[in-house]
Amino acid sequence: MTNLRTEEFFADRMLGRLTRWLRMMGYSIEYAPSDWDDDKIIEYCISSNLFLLTRDWELSNRYSYSMYVQSENIDGQLAQFLSRFPPSRELFFTRCPVCNGKTSRLPMNLVADRVPDGVRTRFDSAFVCPNCGKIYWEGTHYVSILKTINSIITRLEDHFVH
């Protein structure tokens, strides 16, 4: 399996939660602005060569480079997506879940004035999004997200092995 990921994605308004989860796993996912209609979405996906993720069956039928996301719940959505586009662990936390920007890991002393005291003393580095300015660190929230992602992947691997 190669670690080079070439696809970039676009998600419709029904998939906000999936969008945030996949960004945390390093996938590039653009999210549909609220005032875009189907025509605009298709036009944009074509011109930017984006793979469309949609809960709208008709929309997915109008654009072949797409996936109709079947499940209403996040577990089912992740399972369907990850079985087609397997994750690379080394890409986890390389994207900002809020804006899709590419985060970079910086030494804590470079961001020290932008994080709470407790964070500054407990962690050596942080992930910074150059696009929206958000800063992430490997605290309890990070650990619990990583646990959830790993358990989803393990469940999927079990599913495909048996």
Q: Which residues bind Zn ion (CB under 5 A)?
A: 96, 98-99, 101, 129, 131-132, 134
Closer by beta carbon to Zn ion, 71 or else 131: 131
Closer by beta carbon to Zn ion, 96 or else 149: 96
- Give min distance, CB of 91 to Zn ion, in A: 16
| Residue 63 neighbours by CB distance under 10 Å | 18
- Give min distance, CB of 101 to Zn ion, in A: 4
- Give min distance, CB of 28 to Zn ion, in A: 12
Please name which of 49, 14, 50 lies closest in space to residue 30, comparing C-alpha atoms. 50
**Contacts of residue 20, Cβ cutoff 8 Å, sequence gap at least 6:** 97, 98
CA dihedral 40, 41, 43, 49 (to 10 degrees): 160
For the chain, strand residue ranges (E) read 9-11, 29-31, 51-54, 66-68, 104-107, 125-128, 135-136
- Give min distance, CB of 74 to Zn ion, in A: 21
